[in-house]
A and B are shown apart, each in its own frame.
Chain A
Amino acid sequence: MADKNGFFDLSKTTLSRRTALKGIAAGAGLALAPGFVRYSQAQSSAPIRIGFQSHRTGIGAAYGRWYEKTSAAAVKAINDAGGISGRKVELVIEDDGTDPARGAEVVNKFAKQHKTDIVFGTLFSHVVIGSAPAAGENKIPYFVVSEGHHVASTKLNRYVFQPGITDVKSQIQSMAPWIAANAGKKVTQIFPDFAFGYDHRDYLPPALKAQGADVIAQIAIPPTESSFTKYFPQIPAETEVIYHVMVGPAVLTFVKELGEFYGSQRPQLFGFMDSLEAVDINSPGLEFLDGSHFWEGSPRYAQPDDSAAQKAYRAAVGIDDNGAAVGDPKDISTASHMFGCWETLYVVKKAMEDAGYKGPEDRAKLVEATEALKEFAEGPEHPQGPKTFNGKIHQCFGIQNISKVEGGKLKVVHKTKIEDGLYEPEGDYTTQAL
C-alpha cells in the first residue's frame, strides 16, 4: 500500500524544537495543576483508594456487574458513617476481562499508576491465581472474593486475603454430610474444567467418603462450552445424585439440556448456585429443577427468618425479595457470592483502623493487622452470618445454606455450622517475609 500521507516516513516525523517545547510546557502545566499536588500536602485527609479488579467483560461479566453494585453500596454505607479512620473511601475500577494475564496487568496498574492503597474484588479463581504474583511483587494487599481454595491452600503469597467469603473446600466439607444423608450415596460430579472446578473435583470425593458415599464419575466441562447434551451420556445409569457446579454465560443452557435429557426421570440434583447465578430459576425449561437442592452462599430469595442486618443489606444493594434488581425483576443478582464484597470491605475498614493505616507505606502493617483478626460478628457489617478468620491461611470460615426449589423460589432448608467447615491448615503465610 502506498503511504500517501507519509505516516510511516520517519524523515517527516522528527521532533521539531517547537513541538518539544510545547510538550514540556504542557507537562509542567499538568504537574502544577491544583489537582495534581492536592494529596501530597494533605495525606491524612485524602481518600483511601481501593483498586477494584472487576470482571466487566469476559465470561465473568454478569458477576462483575453485581460485584460493582454491591461494592458501591458498601462504600456508600462506609462513607455515610464517616469512612475509614475519618477518610473517605473511593473505588478505582479497572476491567480485567476475566482473564488471568490481564488480571496481573491490572494489579500492576493499580500499584504503579493509580497507586491505590489495596487491590480488591476478584472472583474468578484463574484470574486470582494469575494476579496474585503481581500483588506479591508490588507488595500491595490483595483482597479477593473468589470462593476458590487457592488462598487457603497457602500456595499464593502473604499479600493475598479472602476474608469475606468461604472457600470451596470448606463449603464441600460442611455440606457432604447433608448430601450423603438426604440426597444419595452414588454421586456423579459435573464441574468446569479450570481451577475452581478442580477444587470441587479434589475435595468432594474425600468429603463424601467420610460420610459413606462415593463419587462414581467426574465430568469436566470446558468453561467456554455452549452445548452440553454431549456430556450427559457419561453419567452412569446407577447415579443417585448429580452434583453440578457450572460457571459462565452458558449455565442456563446446561441446566435446560439436563432437563431435556432426563425429564422427570432424573436422579436427585444437588447444585452449586454458581450453575444458576444471575439466571431466573423460573426461566422456561427449568421446571424440572423443582424439588432439587442448591448450595447458596447467601440466599437469593428473602427468607422468613432474615435478620434486620440481612434486610438492610438487601435494601442498600438494591435487590428485592426475589433477589432481582429493584425495579427490574428480570435482572437477577449473583446473591450467593456478592455479599462477599460488602463483608470484605468492612474487613478492610477494620484492619486499616486497627493498623492505624496512613498510606501505601503502611501496607505491611495492614497485612499484619488483617492476619491478627479472629472473628466477625453477624450484623450490618456481616449480614450473611458470623465468621471466624484464620490469619495463618488468610481465609474466613462461615455458615452455608442448602436451599430447595419450591414453587419457583429457593427456600433455605438447612444451615451448616462454622465448625462443619473447619479443616487443618495446609500452611502458614505469616512465616513468609513481608
Chain B
Amino acid sequence: MHFGPHLLLAVLEGLVTSAVLALTALGLSLVFGVMRIVNVAHGEFFMLGAVLAWAISTAISGHPAIGFVAALVIAPLLVGLVAFLAEWLVLRRLNYNPESTIVATIGMLYIIQQLALTFYGPEARPVEPPFSYRILLPWFGYSGYKLSVVAASTVLLVITWLVLTRTKIGLIMRATQYDRETAQAFGIPVERVYAGVFAIGAMLAAIAAVLIVPISQAHYLMGQDPLLLSFIVVIIGGLGSLRGTVVAAVLIGLSDGIISMFFSPTLAKIIATLVVAMVLVFRPQGLFGTAPR
C-alpha cells in the first residue's frame, strides 16, 4: 500500500481510538477534578457498559438498531446507578480520603470484574452494529460504523462541555471543584454533587463502551486498556481539565494509530509512556492543568 492511503487508514484508526478515549478519560478527569478521587475502577464501569449493552441488545429482538439504541440509553443509566450506589456505600464512608479511596476503588475493580465473570462468563460476545455500511475507498474498505462513532463521540463531548459551562448544574460542579468548603458555605449540597459526578463519570465510560462494543466485543477483562490509556490522557492533559483531556486524547489516539501502523504497537505504547514521564517531570500539572493552589 502507498504512503497516502496508508496514512489515511492510520489517521482513521487513530480518530476512532481518540473518540472513545476522550469520552472515557473525560469521565475519569471529571471525577478527579471535582472529587479529587483517583477512580481505579473506572475501566470496570467501561466494561460494565459493554456487557450490559450486550445483554440489552440480545434481549430486544427486531432490527439491530433498536437494540443498540436501547442499549445506548439503558446501559449508561444502569452503570450510573451502580456508580451512585458505590459512591454512597463506599466512598462517602471513607470521607473521600485520597489514599483510602484508591484502595477502595481497586477493591471495586475486582468485585465488578469477578461479578461480570460469574454472571456474564469468560466469552467475548459480539453486539450487532446498528448499521453495517462499508465505505469503499479505492485502496481499502472501511467500516462506516467506525466513522459514526467518531461523530457520536464529538457530539457527546460538545454536550458535556455545554452542560459544564452553560448550565446551573455545571456551575455547581465547577464551584465544588474550585473550592469545596466555600461551595458548601454557599449552600451547595457537596455530597450530592459528588454522588452525581461519580455517576456521570461512570456513565461517560459506559457510553464510550456501548459505542465501541459493536467494533470489539464485550469481554470481562476489556476495562484494563481503557483505564491505562485514560490515566495517560488525563495526566498529559492535566487532571480536571476538559480541554486538556480532549486534546490529549486526540494526541494519544492519533499517535497510537500512526506509530503502530508505520512502526509497531509496542513503540506507540513506549512513546505514550515516555510522554507521560516527560510531562510529569517538566509540567506536573499537565498541559492544560492549573498548578495546585
Q: Using CB atoms and an 8 Å cutoff, list the residues of chain A in contact with chain B.
A: 1, 56-59, 61-62, 64-65, 222, 224-227, 229-233, 237, 249-253, 257, 260-263, 278-279, 283-285
Query: Do B219 and A249 have beta carbons less than 8 Å apart?
Result: yes
> Is the pair A230, B261 in contact by a Cβ cutoff of 8 Å?
yes
User: Does A233 contact B216, Cβ atoms closer than 8 Å?
Assistant: no
A250 contacts B128, C-beta separation under 8 Å: no
Query: Nearest Cβ distance between residue A2 and chain B, in whole angstroms?
Result: 11
In-complex Cβ contact of B122 among A62, A227, A230, A251 (8 A): A62
Beta-carbon contacts of B115-156 to A below 8 Å, as 1s and 0s? 001000111101011001010100011110000000000000
* Binding stretch for chain A, among B5-13, B188-196, B275-283: B5-13
> Are A284 and B122 neighbours in the complex by a CB distance under 8 Å?
no
How many angstroms between the C-alpha atoms of A231 and B219 in the bound complex? Answer: 22
Which residues on B sit within 8 Å (CB–CB) of A261? 140-142
> Interface on chain A toward B: helix, strand, loop, or mixed SS?
loop
Minimum CB–CB distance from A239 to chain B (whole Å) comes to 12
Number of interface residues of B (CB under 8 A): 38
Interface assignment of B238: CB less than 8 Å from any CB of chain A: no
CB pair B122–A260 under 8 Å, yes or no, is no
Cβ–Cβ contact B100 & A1, under 8 A: yes
A-B contact pairs, 20 of them (CB 8 A): A57-B122, A65-B121, A227-B17, A229-B9, A230-B13, A230-B265, A233-B6, A233-B140, A249-B124, A249-B219, A250-B216, A252-B124, A252-B126, A260-B143, A261-B140, A262-B140, A263-B141, A284-B128, A284-B129, A284-B132
- Docked-complex contact A260 and B141, CB < 8 angstroms: yes
User: A1-B99, A59-B221 are contacts. A225–B265 as well, Cβ < 8 Å?
Assistant: yes
Instruction: Tell me, yes or no, whether B69 is within 8 Å of chain A by CB.
Output: no
B89: interface (CB < 8 Å):
no
Instruction: Indicate which residue in B1, B10, B221 contacts A230 across the interface (CB closer than 8 Å).
Output: B10
* CB neighbours of B221 from chain A (8 A): 58-59, 249
Q: Which B residues between 235 and 275 are near A, CB-CB below 8 angstroms?
A: 257, 260-261, 265-266
Question: Among B1, B13, B124, B217, which residue has the most Cβ atoms of chain A within 10 A?
Answer: B124
Check B265 against A222 for contact (C-beta < 8 Å): yes
Chain A residue, CB-CB nearest to B100: A1
> Which of the residues B121, B124, B134, B265 comes within 8 Å of A260, measured between beta carbons?
B134
State whether A253 and B132 are in contact (beta carbons under 8 Å apart), knowing that A62-B123, A260-B143, A262-B141 are contacts in the complex: no
**What A residues does B217 contact at CB under 8 A?**
249-250, 252-253
